[in-house]
Structure 1
């Protein structure tokens, strides 16, 4: 029996030694071991990113050591109980859980050229110019009225003399595009405020809108051109359509969660 026990012990020791040999400890930080496998994994990950400094195993090891020391100090300071840290941790868990739940569905998303054509038909890319009269996000009544009245004055001038658009944009617009006559260039619909895009959708070249209110203020918009689907950045629009399909999956996912949850909303507090 003793001989059998010694034999088993020897096998376990050999096994442990063999595992240690395959994954040796390259450094310790206050008793915390850094294994060769951890160093190699982090080293390979670092090689995937462009840096102005040469990536070496020594540099990566120093980074790991610094991280261990930083985490140790954070734990000693009880940062895991800090409200801001807790919120960030909850954000990480939130995104990690969604990724875990939805990854199989998201992998099945396919975007075809037909999908892009269908999307672009409803969301063509316009080149526009605008004259912006800014107001704060929550303006006082007087501020809002003053901006609107100024916008209406300029618009009434443009109705009579549309050729003055560039000049008036340069003079009155509070946008960074003012020096260029308000020219925004071609912009995908997703880069425009919804009210802005809806005001120009389907309009012909040289059409000038009456003042349009967005979160930024009042815009007078001139349609300058619309891009043919053959001229668009196809990769960009495939990404846009992908995002839409992803968002539809997310909406359905949260609808399922909300249906199973006990949610009560005090509508009065929303007013």
Structure 2
């Protein structure tokens, strides 16, 4: 009862902050400069990571590019240099903690303190629980979430010391809404979203308000990550569109980016609508992609 009364006392603040939030939607947000910032991007050898590197290169950031694919990361670095930025390529296995730590040590010794960290590397296995091999499940978590802990532990101390920096978590809409035949992927992305939210609160509790956080949660992207993806939420996203939204979110210090924005609506209604209606709604969303099904019923 006491807690309920305390909540009622907060209603005036709720009204004020709601009006403030609505007003801010009509005021263009000031974009910060990232010129000269040391930006580390994992999974920068292709897709979203590569295009994000190009955008930072155009803004004259100093790029530190990680990927397990040597050819891909060198191509990205070469294009960043052509765009006028300094770029350093490292072959790093983001599923290996010791590789991350040793590579981070080289970065700090040879280049300097990273001030913007983009945890973009990811893996996915489109299969049901039984067709997903144990090593695949382990690798999904190692790359999609555990690597975020190791890179943050390596580079966050300098950001906190200077009270300046930015941690970017590339998650997924699947980090908010469960999807069949993506059990390991969804679980890892839910964890990545949780990492972002908890880290944001921890930085606030430690009064490191100069260290910003951003989390990207897009729908299917046309990068070949999924085979034949589709959903009635809208067409498969083009990588350029996603990176444009991501860069805008980073430069305006937006905490959560949903693409399309309708995903944020689904995350809200999932908590308040009846379960049977939610089942109907999810059928209407109609998420589809090619997947391997390993489960066999008796008699098959």
TM (norm. structure 1) is 0.21
Q: Greater share of helix residues, 1 or 2? A: 1
TM (norm. structure 2) is 0.19
- State the structure with more CA Rg: 1
